[in-house]
Amino acid sequence: MAHARKAALITGAGRNIGRACVLGLAEDGFNIVLNGSSDRAACESVAKEAEKLGAETLVVMGDVGKAEDCQRIAGEAIKRFGAVDALLNNAALRPNKPFLEMTEAEWRRVISVDLDAAVWLARACLPGMVQKGWGRIVNFAGMNAIHGHAGRTPVSVAKHGVWGLTKALAMEFGPKNITVNTISPGPIAPDTEEKNASAQARAQSISRVPLGRMGKPAEVAAAARLLVSEAGGYINGQMIQVNGGGAT
């Protein structure tokens, strides 16, 4: 079945930045493939919101930390829509644990979700983009990729890796009319207040932002909407920081 609308695959689509990207791209005319790891109800709820904006949707649950799941997720998306035109690698783990207390399994789990998933999903989606002569990949980093973060060593390493992946793929696939960029959000307020987020921690985050507030998921999604649009087609190999002017 031919689809006039382009299709976007968004991981971590059930809440916060992922949800905002789903709704923004649905509004911009994309069909949407939503991926989550465990909360199918959340993804289904966001899918219904996207359908009200005119999008066809497909929910594909799976663990992007596993290469075989990445292949299956992308495969189902391609089977439904013919190709993945825009890939947004949003899913991530951000555990806090002292470096010397971290186990090998804990290290590898974070690297698999925060870095390897972007590799495997890109490998699965890029052939279709190359065939069509058009594609967009948006990776997500964060302040951990820029400053490092005590207690989040694997996150910092993975996000630095995502930035390197972005630059390398931008060089290799730019000649195919495929752009690859990274968005680096600053402190972003979640859709619902995190149970373990203290007022002190929020205040500390805000204190480093010249605008004096946390960002909104929709403000991060606005950058993603530009990067996957025709108007954003000359932006390639860049890290776009959406952080209210926080220290870079």
Q: pLDDT digit string (tens) for 75-105? A: 999 999 999 999 999 999 999 999 999 999 9
- pLDDT at position 73 over 80: yes
- pLDDT at position 48 over 90: yes
Task: Give the residue, 147 or 236, on which the prediction is more confident.
Answer: 236
Q: How confident is the model at residue 1 (pLDDT cuts 50, 70, 90)?
A: very low
DSSP 11: E
| 9 vs 59: CA distance, rounded Å | 10
Domain CATH code at residue 191: 3.40.50.720
Is 1 inside any structural domain? no
Is 247 inside any structural domain? no
Is 102 inside any structural domain? yes
Is 228 inside any structural domain? yes
- So what's the pLDDT on residue 193? 61
Is 115 inside any structural domain? yes
Q: pLDDT digit string (tens) for 168-190? A: 999 999 999 999 999 999 999 99
Domain containing 108 equals 7-242
- So what's the pLDDT on residue 87? 99
pTM here is: 0.94
Q: Which of 23, 18, 56 shows the shortest CA–CA distance to 39?
A: 18
Is 74 inside any structural domain? yes
Is 2 inside any structural domain? no
- pLDDT at position 216 over 50: yes
Dihedrals phi, psi of 117, to nearest 5 degrees: -60, -40
Sequence-ordered list of residues with C-beta below 8 angstroms from that of 24, at least 6 positions apart, any chain? 218, 221, 222, 224, 225
Q: What's the number of domains the chain is made of?
A: 1
Three-state SS for 210? coil
**CA distances in angstroms from 181 to 114, 118, 121, 141, listed in the order given:** 16, 12, 15, 10
248 Cα distance to chain centroid: 20
For the chain, the average pLDDT equals 93
| 232 vs 89: CA distance, rounded Å | 18
**Given its phi and psi angles, is residue 65 left (phi above 0), alpha (psi -120 to 50 degrees) or beta?**
alpha
